Amino acid sequence: MKTRLTLFLLMLVPFFRLSAQQPHINIDWDPQRTRPENLVPFSANVISPEVIDDHTVIFRLRGPNVSSVKLTGTMFVGSEAGKQVDFTKDEKGLWTCKIGPLEPDIYLYYFIIDGVKVIDPNNTYVGFANMPAFSMLWVHGDGPAFYDAKNVPHGDLITHYYYSSVSNGQREMLVYTPPSYNPKKKYPVLYLLGGSGDLAQTWAFHGQANFIMDNLLAEEKALPMIIVMPNNQLVHRNDPKHTELTFKLVEREMKEVILPYIESHYSVIKNKHGRAISGLSMGGRHAQYVGLNNLDLFGSIGLLSSAIAVGETPVLKDPDVNSKIDYLFLGAGTHETRPGARHEVLHNDLLKLNVKHEYYVGSRGAHDLITWRHLLYYRFLPNLFRSTSGK
């Protein structure tokens, strides 16, 4: 009888999802969801964050000798931008904060403990870049979102290490190849740059660009392409001459090192109609400078929450400029758009110059990855290389 009962219970196991908060077993779309097992992450002492199905979130910190704990993050936008929410402390020294409900998305957040901005020490989802680490909050919806890993064909994400004659050192870049990449075919290439606080990994590890592209291809909403994610940090971001130096160095790195490397290692279209350059924030300014000053190399340019003055890319004043650009995209988030914003000024200047471009303001985000993931999926990638697919 005991043997039969054991076999019966073993047969039931596949029907139950046996996992705890932050299990890191599968690439979950709801890794911080409340689980019935109520297991604390390995080496943690409390569960934080805990995401409830009503989209409220509980943060916890055990700190009996701490005087003050606050929460801040990208979930606070618009009139709440920069908001700090207080935790409450119980008699055992457990600090708790509950917020929400929040819209499903991936948020970045910090604790402020006695005035010091730090990561959540019990959250195993931590981001890194060219700035101090940050904690990541996954608020799930009713199923995988457009930026999640779904059960669809996946492309490969490859890290390349190479020597740069521009930086005089070893560097890295990530390359996404679409599912069923075939070296006998020729693919267009998007060079996708990060912002001031980013590294080569940002677009993939925090921006989910590879999963976004997988999902678009599975939905037949975008053309197959290779996406190159370089590190566009070539001058210390706090160098007083950063603005003066960075644009020309990024241009040299792209032209002298990265393009030749990619075009010797991958089967790509080697003309401007098969090359696009885009980026977020500082990376968008780099893309505008490099792309528009080298229209013999790049046919498409995407500016995400970014812009530089028309005078820095004088080709925009050329009466024949529209014949030289395949696709010019200018996009930004709802909560970062206002009169005087860089992208708004450039958009108005382009209208005055009759420069064809797509201008889009959307997402629930501000100057953050909530916006940039949205721009990739809903506008930029679906429209990229459409007008040149036959060239």
Extract the tokens encoding 122: 């019990």
Extract the tokens encoding 135: 């904690």
Whether the per-residue pLDDT at 5 is higher than 60: the answer is no
- Taking only Cα atoms into account, the Rg of the chain, rounded to an integer number of angstroms, comes to 23
Q: What's the topology of domain 10-139?
A: Immunoglobulin-like (2.60.40)
Extract the tokens encoding 311: 């005078």
- For the chain, give every domain's residue range: 10-139, 156-383
Extract the tokens encoding 216: 């678009």
Whether the per-residue pLDDT at 1 is higher than 60: the answer is no
Label residue 19 by pLDDT band (50, 70, 90).
low
Say whether the peptide bond before residue 101 is cis (omega within 30 degrees of 0).
yes
The three-state secondary structure class of 254 is: helix
Better-predicted residue by pLDDT, 16 or 120: 120
Choices 3.40.640.10, 3.40.50.1820, 3.30.420.40, 3.40.50.2000: CATH for 156-383: 3.40.50.1820
Residue pLDDT, tens place only, 219-256: 999 999 999 999 999 999 899 999 889 999 999 999 99
Residue pLDDT, tens place only, 28-55: 999 999 988 889 998 999 999 999 999 9
Residue pLDDT, tens place only, 118-148: 999 999 999 989 999 999 999 999 999 999 9
Q: What pLDDT is stored for residue 391 in this prediction? A: 58
Label residue 13 by pLDDT band (50, 70, 90).
very low
Whether the per-residue pLDDT at 311 is higher than 60: the answer is yes
Our measurement of the distance from residue 373's CA atom to the centroid of its chain's CA atoms, rounded to an integer in Å, reads 6
Cβ atoms of residues 330 and 358 within 8 Å: yes
In a 10 Å sphere around its CB, with 0-12 CB exposed, 13-18 middle and 19+ buried, how is residue 296 labelled?
Answer: exposed
Whether the per-residue pLDDT at 4 is higher than 70: the answer is no
Residue pLDDT, tens place only, 338-357: 999 999 999 999 999 999 99
**CA nearest to 385, candidates 281, 271, 288, 280:** 271
Exposure string of 341-369, with b = 16+ CB inside 10 Å and e = fewer, is bbbbebbebbeeeebebebbbebbbbbbb
Q: What pLDDT is stored for residue 11 in this prediction? A: 43
The three-state secondary structure class of 242 is: helix
Q: Output the DSSP codes for 135-160.
A: EEEEE--SS--TTS--SS---EEEEE
Q: What pLDDT is stored for residue 387 in this prediction? A: 82
Lowest-confidence segment of 17-21, 193-197, 327-331 by average pLDDT? 17-21
